[in-house]
Amino acid sequence: MNSSNWIWRSVSIISAAATLLLIAGFVYAIQDVNYPQRAQGAGDLAESVKPPKGTSNDAIQDKKELKVAALGDSLAKGTGDSTGSGFVRRSVQEYSKDTGKKVTLLNNLGINGLTTTALLPKLEEQGTQYVLAKADVILLSIGGNDLFRGADLFTSVKNTSPNESSSSAVKKDSEVSKTSTQAKVQEIKPEDILKALPQASLKLQKILVKLREINPNAVIIYVGLYNPFGDLEQLKIPGNEAVTTWNNAALSLINKNGNMMLVPTFDLFQQNLNKYLSSDHFHPNGDGYQQIAERIVQSIR
């Protein structure tokens, strides 16, 4: 009976203590959820540690280790590449294969459908700034959605999010939307594409200035636009014209800063749309991204 007494005494004492503690926690939790003490402490924490600004000023070629960050629209994300790599991962791989250096991709911040308008507020965010400030190379792809969305002919294709479409049933889907795009394209006046240009290039300038402010030393590589409609009679010439105008505008912005460059893709796709475009007829496929990646690597070799 002695052991029973001992069991009873220890179990009852521990469980009573535990119950009291848990009840206290329970009451505290109800109070905290229902009547939160306003912003106690949260303000004190706000003084966040700024990441060390910029990386060393050495030229890219001299660095032993390279950190890459990518930013922008679906092209940066790699939409259309069935392997999911996109030009970002591909150029990271190519570059490290090419030079034997350790190249790390910090973050790929590409978001489908991003326009210059939507990118600007993102640059104010702490997390984005932190990533960008750490990078040696910043890959930027933006503007495509401003240009072609401004003319509003891309909404139908965009919605099918081709990176997820792998089954044959889904493929059929994008087939359908492709034809509907083509139908839509007929009604588009080519001038509409040009209309979005001045606004967008102004925003691009702001983006580049902001990027430079966040990271004064990184090499910023802007991926130029191509014309995905080069094989459509009505849009070939005006599309080319719009894309070229945009690329020229971008280039003249970029040329004002020594450590930025534009990697052209226009010529890559001009005659090779069937080869390099994915089934959504807008984004590059794996091969297309590979070509872009090789260009990028060539520019910083």
Partner 1 sequence: MSSLIPLVKNETIKIIKKKRFYVILLILLVLVPIFTYAQMRSAEHSREKFNGDWRLETQQQITDNENSLGSDRVPDEWKKFRKIIVQQLQYYLDHDVNPKEPNGVTFTREFMNNSVSLFIPLLIMAIASDIVSSERTTGTIKMLLTRPVKRWKVLLSKLITLIMFTSLIVLSTFVITYAISGLVFGYKGFDIPVFTGFQISGSDVDMSAVHAVPQWEYILMQSGLIWFVSLTVAILAFMVSVLVRSTAASIVVMMAALIAGSILTNMAAAWNSAKYLFMVNLQLTDYLSGTPAPIEGMNLTFSLIVLSIWAIAAIIVSFAVFTKRDILN
Binding site for partner 1 (CB under 8 A): 4, 7-8, 11-12, 14-16, 18-19, 21-30, 32-34, 36-42, 45-46, 48-49, 51, 77, 104, 106-113, 125-128, 130-131, 134, 158-161, 164
Nearer to partner 1, 158 or 295 (CB): 158
Distance separating alpha carbons of residues 234 and 241, to the nearest angstrom: 12
Nearest-approach distance from CB 82 to partner 1, in angstroms: 17
Nearer to partner 1, 80 or 110 (CB): 110
Nearer to partner 1, 27 or 202 (CB): 27
Nearer to partner 1, 16 or 176 (CB): 16
- Picking from 248, 254, 245, 256, the residue whose alpha carbon sits closest to that of residue 220 is 254
Nearest-approach distance from CB 43 to partner 1, in angstroms: 9
Nearest-approach distance from CB 286 to partner 1, in angstroms: 19
Nearest-approach distance from CB 29 to partner 1, in angstroms: 4
Residue 284 near residue 81 (C-beta atoms within 8 A): yes
Nearer to partner 1, 58 or 125 (CB): 125
Nearest-approach distance from CB 125 to partner 1, in angstroms: 7
Nearer to partner 1, 4 or 274 (CB): 4
Nearest-approach distance from CB 64 to partner 1, in angstroms: 15
Nearest-approach distance from CB 153 to partner 1, in angstroms: 18
Q: What is the number of other CB atoms lying within 10 angstroms of the CB of residue 268?
A: 19
Nearer to partner 1, 104 or 255 (CB): 104
- Picking from 47, 51, 78, the residue whose alpha carbon sits closest to that of residue 67 is 51
